[in-house]
Amino acid sequence: MLVFDKLFIGGEWVSPATNRIIEVHSPHDQSLVGTAPEATKADMDLAVKVAKDAFDNGKWSTMAPKERQAVITKFNDLHAVKAQEFAELITSENGSPFWFTSMLQGSLQEQTNTYLRAAKDFAWENQLATGPMVLAEPVGVVAAVIPWNAPHQSALVKVIPALLAGNSVILKASPETALDALAMANLFNESGLPKGVLSIVPAHREASEYLVLHEGIDKIAFTGSTAAGKSIASNAAKQMKRVSLELGGKSAAIILEDADFKEAVAGLKFSSFANNAEACIALTRILVPRSRYTEFEKEMEEMVKGITVGDPMNMENFIGPMVHKAQQEKVKSYIKLGLEEGARLVVGGLETLEGLEQGNYVQPTLFADVDNSMRIAQEEIFGPVIVLIPYTDVEDAIRIANDSNYGLSGGVWSASRKKGLEVARRIRTGTVTVNSAASSFDAPFGGYKESGIGREFGGFGLGQYVEYKTINI
């Protein structure tokens, strides 16, 4: 069991303002994984004070970009060494299958490397041909607020570019994954990050809201639900805070008539169900041509039936438990709703999985004959429930795909690269994959519509953490 009794504030381990404790329990068997202090409003006040003092009076914000890059490079190396250790801890906290956390943690060195490459080439000072000098300066104090489903990825995709740009950062970790956040803290000290620049504070909603509304915060970088993002954006506007929001999704996969169905279904196993389908980018609406609907449904049924569910530490299990009981009940309520809406249940359902009664498990569930107007086709479920929606022709498929309040991700499968690209161009979403193409950390990631504001990764993400100043000489 992992026990923390102090908060990481400004590079120091500090006793919390109260004796409130966060208990992290295994979603698999409810055993106690560890405990951490719960940050309260007083702790947030201290974190903001320290961060602001470091920004105004410290050396990090005025340090040469190359010096900051050297510190982050060292952190990246230290973090990579502990990739599998962190993967195991995260799986024990949030129930993500170990095969997934292991893969994701292993990729984070490259995620940070893309920011480092971008920082090396970034125009921190640029003399325009017409005379003015343009400076890219840090925003100030950044509140990075992250969810529990991919905690180190969500943390570093914000903390790293914010630090590279010279900002001070307060990382607000989710209580479900408080342990792995605090476990990462000492690596920043070992890397040479100056005192005061970074705080890591796990907290529940009340203290989190207090942090983002704090007058000492200059920018909010948030990943989470669209509802929470709207609230943050509304309140931030009143204070003219800078915001970047990576929010929810209800992404569509368009299976074109000429697609190789076996390849498409194999790709959808990962695109739709990876990380227990607790992923904003999951492809949860599968659009299938009516002319081949029955054939595709059979392929999907076979794939979903074959998904192994169980102890997330077992590499043989593809899906683990939902992060907590409330999430399990939410997902089950959507399965019940789908039945009430008239969707046809193909695989899965509400039954408790034998031998896994103690855990927060939900059966991988596939609905067919779904109309895009149904709530199970419009609302983000954040669990292993996907729907098959028939379409008549390509125009109909594009219309259905775009008939959503969200626009984060999407997919197209076709035997023709040209056709796939033509359809991908017309989907109103931030990222589209054609035939399960691999993604890149160099490319911008973010959403259209209610899926967010701003972009992450590489130079696009780095630019979210600077203010531009023009000096006319």
The predicted structure's pLDDT at residue 120: 97
The predicted structure's pLDDT at residue 462: 98
E strands, 310-409, where? 344-347, 365-368, 385-391, 406-407
Q: Kindly report, residue by residue over 209-267, the tens digit of the pLDDT.
A: 999 999 999 999 999 999 999 999 999 999 999 999 999 999 999 999 999 999 999 99
State the pTM of this model. Answer: 0.97
Rounded to whole angstroms, how far apart are CA atoms 204 and 177?
11
Write down the architecture of domain 251-440 according to CATH.
3-Layer(aba) Sandwich (3.40)
Tell me the CATH class for 2-247+451-471: alpha beta
Block residue for tokens 């780095």: 462
Burial class of residue 238 (count of CB atoms within 10 Å of its CB; 0-12, 13-18, 19+): exposed
Q: Kindly report, residue by residue over 207-221, the tens digit of the pLDDT.
A: 999 999 999 999 999
Question: What totals of helices (H) and strands (E) does the chain contain, helices first?
Answer: 16, 23
CATH 3.40.309.10 location in the chain: 251-440
The phi and psi torsions of 467 (rounded to 5 degrees) equal -110, 140
Rounded to whole angstroms, how far apart are CA atoms 83 and 89?
10
Counting residues of the chain whose pLDDT is more than 90, the rounded percentage is 99
CATH 3.40.605.10 location in the chain: 2-247+451-471
The predicted structure's pLDDT at residue 352: 85
The predicted structure's pLDDT at residue 87: 98
The predicted structure's pLDDT at residue 423: 98
Catalytic residue chosen out of the listed positions 38, 93, 176, 246: 246
Annotated catalytic residue 340: no
Annotated catalytic residue 209: no
Catalytic residue chosen out of the listed positions 38, 280, 450, 456: 280
Which of helix, strand or coil describes residue 471? strand
Q: Kindly report, residue by residue over 254-302, the tens digit of the pLDDT.
A: 999 999 999 999 999 999 999 999 999 999 999 999 999 999 999 999 9
The predicted structure's pLDDT at residue 389: 98
Please report, as a single letter, which amino acid is at residue 220. I
Which of helix, strand or coil describes residue 128? coil
The predicted structure's pLDDT at residue 278: 98
- CA distance readout (Å), 59 to 12, 63, 71: 17, 6, 13
Give pLDDT < 50 ranges for the chain. Answer: none
The predicted structure's pLDDT at residue 310: 98
